[in-house]
Structure 1
Amino acid sequence: MNIQKSYAEGDAYGKLYLVGTPIGNLEDMTYRAVRILGEVQWIAAEDTRQTRKLLTHFDISTRLVSYHEHNKNASGPELIRLLLAGDSIALVSDAGLPAICDPGADLVRMAIDEGIAVVPIPGANAALSALIVSGLPTERFTFVGFLPRDKKPLERELGALKREPGTWLCYESPHRLVKTLTVMAEVLGGDREVCLVRELTKRYEEALRGTITECLAHLDSHAPQGEYVVVIRGGGADAEAESADAWWAGLTPEQHVARYEADGEGHKEALRRAAQDRGVPKRELYNLLHRDG
């Protein structure tokens, strides 16, 4: 069990600040983020060249170090050593909130394991910004990051998400958007409602709302440009009815997970996919399966 008091006095360790940065418009930088970046001893950045531009704009001279997917195994322990020695570090990504779809999540876990306080400094976020302008339901939503690149894994992932009752979101690059939407039309049906949001907070910000088929027709004459957030309406009542007839409907949770494991999935992935099939949190299914363990 871990209980964090973010601002407890007398803590000998430094703090790991997760600082949100603009996703396009520099005016979205918060006063607090600017202050924290100026006060910490180190800033750990995904791309130091990109972050240096931001620091120069706000006249921040804090020392900058690199932390990204390719050096995290070496850089992560060194950052933890600095935190344990009393230095505070601000972690930033190229844009938006760190630790979402980037190796910052690994550093957060390492810091927590060492008893180091991890403090969020909220800021811009592409996924949530797209969700609130999409016009789709916001009461329940799921963020799935980047979908698989290859068609077969993509079809399997979409097959599981097809029964997701809440709105769900993913990131997609412009050169893969049409391919992904085409597979979505095959698996989810072309009449599924979506919203494609690109260039958030920038001059050419655009939200394209309609069915998958309508959006594909539009993209046929307007080539995708910029990074996209794809927001998809959940399956709703149709998904619930389909679940009753699903291949796993007669299986116990244990049998459901075991079926995926028999297909070659690891236990964690089998658990995730079974939870997604059933529309329950992975933690809830894990607790159910291990309550006697």
Structure 2
Amino acid sequence: MKLVVSTRGSKLSLKQVELFKSYINKFVNVDLEIKVVKTKGDIIQDKPLYSIGEKGLFEKEVNNAVLKGEADIAVHSMKDLPKDIDPRLDIIMVLPREIPNDSLIFSKNVVDDLEKIPEGSIVGTSSMRRKSFLMHYNDKVIIKPLRGNIDTRIKKLNNNEYDYIILAESGIRRLGLDPKRIILPLDIFPPEPGQGIIAIVGIKDNSKVKTISNYTDKLTHYMAIAEREFLKEAKAGCSSPLGAVSIIHDDKIVIITGLASFDGKFMEIVRFKDYLNNAEKLGKKAGEFVYSIIDKVLK
């Protein structure tokens, strides 16, 4: 079966297509043709993502190729997908999840805890969540916007433009990189919902889509359901200092949520637990709780 795949052109995006090909070919013989798409998020590099004020900055143009019939499927980092995608589309499958944590990366000043970052250190991130969470644990640092692909960000660190940067551990591992770093625990620094998950998007009821949807990773599927439902009920976007991640233990699923004030002075981390088959219900419950307090926290 031949599939035309829509994707961004970054090293990480192309690696994720490669990982999809390796995974799906364990079950069905698939020949891929890659269609590279440039998104608004790729073009605008001089602003933090949260300041642009739009959702789906890395998603819309990639999915449009599918809607126009130029591609059969689109490959995404699930964390880049807005809570609502075009109703003609669906997340048809997910690959086994990579580690979802964020990591603190450094080239010189080694630390083993966020609180030990020296006063006045410059930390690079363009994520409001990472910025606010970091300020909660250490308000003595200077946070400076950081854009570009993973290689570019690490190069800026090594060129002494930053003392530390924060990146998703999954991207580091997928690219085979090994910078000096510490992995931030999920229960103190919950990541972006969907972080570490590769999501495949396609037209609903398409025959090719139905074929490959049978091979979705079952455990990751439950985590994706919980975290996507959380996003919908929390009614939050990329400008909200909000994180959530789910963990599966036997027949139970736990979702860890984190919400901070913009200045980091207030932060609340709450766990919710239910049976695996209730993943959607669990995500809804967690999202409703966050929505009930978000105005008070962010005002």
TM-score, normalisation: structure 2: 0.33
Relative contact order, CA 8 A, sep 6+: which one is greater? 2
Structure exhibiting the larger radius of gyration computed from Cα positions? 1
TM-score, normalisation: structure 1: 0.33
Query: Larger % of helix: which?
Result: 1
Query: Larger % of strand: which?
Result: 2
